[in-house]
Amino acid sequence: MAPSKMILFLLSILIGTVIFSEAQPNFFSRSCSETGNYTNNSVYKSNLNTLLTSIASDTNINYGFYNFSFGQDPDRVYAISLCRGDVELDSCRSCVKDSTRRILQDCPNQKEAVGWYDNCMIRFSNMSIFGIMEDQPKLHLFNVNNVTSVDLFNQALRTLLDSLKAEAASGSSIRKFATGDAVGPDFLTIYALSQCTPDLSDVECNDCLEQSARYIPDCCNGKVGARVVTPSCNLRYETSRFYNTSAPPPPKEEDSNTSRTVVIIVVPIVGVLILLICLYIFLKRRKPRQRKPDIEDVDEIINAESLQFDFATIRAATDNFSDANKLGQGGFGSVYKGRLSDGQEVAVKRLATGSGQGDLEFKNEVLLVAKLQHRNLVRLLGFCLSGNERLLVYEFVPNTSLDHFLFDSDKRAYLDWDKRYKIIGGIARGLVYLHEDSRLRIIHRDLKASNILLDAEMNSKIADFGMARLFIMDQTQGNTSRIVGTYGYMAPEYAMHGYFSVKSDVYSFGVLLLEIVSGQKNNSFRSGDNVEDLLSYAWRNWKEETCLNIVDTNLRNGSRNEMMRCIHIGLLCVQENVADRPTMASVVLMLSSNSLTLPVPLRPHSFMSSSSGSDNFNSQGYVSEVTE
């Protein structure tokens, strides 16, 4: 353990045994999840104490938002603390300190918990919670007094909340917070506040506040005051002012980024210089030790020179891009099988000329994508730039793509349930890595059966996960005017309005999951002599408790409970409302835990795809359709 971590660990033990035992103010509301517990002598407990101690003692953050993690998987802990945007700095830090102590008293052994005070909230989990909109649990409080003109009051309140929602959602990565007032009926003034955790995108913050505002008529209709809180956002309204109008403005975003770096001056400047000189002499005399780099060294050793292939090498490897070596064709370009001079088989994507990037920008994007390393992602080995040619070199995956097995009446029988369940789990884990665990947040935007490749052991590998980055689209954060993907797999908010998020990929995964269970395409599902939409058919049979009608007739053996659970999860993933869809991390948990109770899905949005959206092209993965 590094010295700094050791000191922090010892502090956590001292402070955890002394401070955490003191009486703290009660949360006005809190939730202790039952998804997992830890023991007092566990590594998770130690990591949690260390992390909460670090947050409680932090004096560098001056904008009221803490998002830290500590430890290594599977005992890594993630935590978020957020102060109300109008609270003074001293009050904020005091509230955060109290919350880190109280949460361990109220939730003494749960791996996931959230607690709310008036001035701040605290949340921790054993899964990544950064940048993920979570609207459950949703809790409310209300004033027992009623207004006299309910309809007029609701109309004024809704208009006020809509304006604050837009203001809060458009905030920066430091603060997404808004307050305001409006004139209501009977000479009442309505004061309101809206806030999101600043790590959310504009779209996610907007969705979270919208869901909370829609909840008010159900929980608090006609009340003179109420608040709705979730892990990712909160709103409150009253007929008397409850927020501080004189709080100092938040620091600038660039200042906050600087404040995240903790600079500790331990010795005088002369001492530092002496130490540096000694270190320099030591390193000069020390003979470097040669060792074989492993996967953890990837970030250090990957550079443009190590990834760049010569065009002549690629041309020779593919026999001058011969048709005999062509594996597939799609909107991003053609794919060829190649063999390098050392005998290594590769797949070469010869990109179309649609990229708007210069050479330097293209290299930078390739370097970013190449650093994404996961067993369920197709590995990018390198690239080639030569004139107008842009080539990407991938590992070769021998068993072609999932659609070649799944939608072939003869090959489908080879995919028994164990293989399919293994494939489903691999896709889910690969998406969790793209959405949460990688250094980038990658939204695939074209997840489908032809973009899932199968290696020699039938492990699933997601392909084309970097295409949205490698091709510049005319887009702002969260929406695009050029739709990339395949109809039938597209989430409705993306297909119709261009809005995308990680939940767009969740929708595509749900469609793909139902295809894997049924063995049929989503836009041409056949039931007897009838052809209908797979989502509608799955929903109808789930409601009628006849889910076995959906299951591929080739699946004579295998766990029926797992099949039914997968259908249930698939329907949750294709919910029309973005907020109703689970995250991919939740999906992985649902797949691995049969004891976890699943929510009840609503009827999904579904539509029959047009012929322009069908997958009627020859591919062996590595291919993405572009529909404009």
Catalytic positions: 446
The per-residue DSSP string of 489-531 comes to TS-HHHHHH-B--HHHHHHHHHHHHHHHHHTS-TTSEEETTEE
The 3-state DSSP class for residue 29 equals strand
Whole-angstrom distance, CA of residue 294 vs CA of residue 411: 37
Whole-angstrom distance, CA of residue 522 vs CA of residue 524: 6
What's at 605, amino acid-wise? H
| Beta-strand pair 345-351/333-339 | antiparallel
Cβ atoms of 101 and 30 within 8 Å: the answer is no
For 562: left if phi > 0, alpha if psi spans -120 to 50, otherwise beta; the answer is alpha
Whole-angstrom distance, CA of residue 301 vs CA of residue 378: 19
Distances (CA, A) of 188 to 163, 217, 483, 542, 558: 19, 19, 46, 49, 64
Whole-angstrom distance, CA of residue 238 vs CA of residue 192: 7
Cβ atoms of 333 and 617 within 8 Å: the answer is no
Whole-angstrom distance, CA of residue 383 vs CA of residue 303: 11
Taking the CA atoms of 294, 296, 300 and 304 in sequence, report the sign of the dihedral they define: positive
Count CB atoms within 10 A of the CB of residue 62.
Answer: 16
Strand intervals (E) in 106-218: 113-116, 120-125, 139-142, 176-183, 189-196
Distances (CA, A) of 425 to 215, 478, 479: 34, 27, 29
Whole-angstrom distance, CA of residue 310 vs CA of residue 336: 16
Tokens linked to 323:
């048709």
Count CB atoms within 10 A of the CB of residue 602.
Answer: 13
Tokens linked to 527:
């039931």
Best CA proximity match to 71, nearest among 40, 101, 49? 49
Could you identify the residue written with the tokens 């997404």?
176
Helix spans in 433-483 (H) = 467-470
Whole-angstrom distance, CA of residue 551 vs CA of residue 556: 10
Count CB atoms within 10 A of the CB of residue 104.
Answer: 22
* Rg of the Cα atoms in the chain: 27
Length of the chain: 628
Helix spans in 394-460 (H) = 402-406, 417-432
Taking the CA atoms of 467, 461, 435 and 505 in sequence, report the sign of the dihedral they define: positive
Count CB atoms within 10 A of the CB of residue 296.
Answer: 8
Could you identify the residue written with the tokens 């760049």?
308
Q: In which element (H, E) is residue 93 found? A: helix 89-106
Distances (CA, A) of 376 to 307, 505, 506: 21, 16, 16
Best CA proximity match to 68, nearest among 56, 89, 51? 51
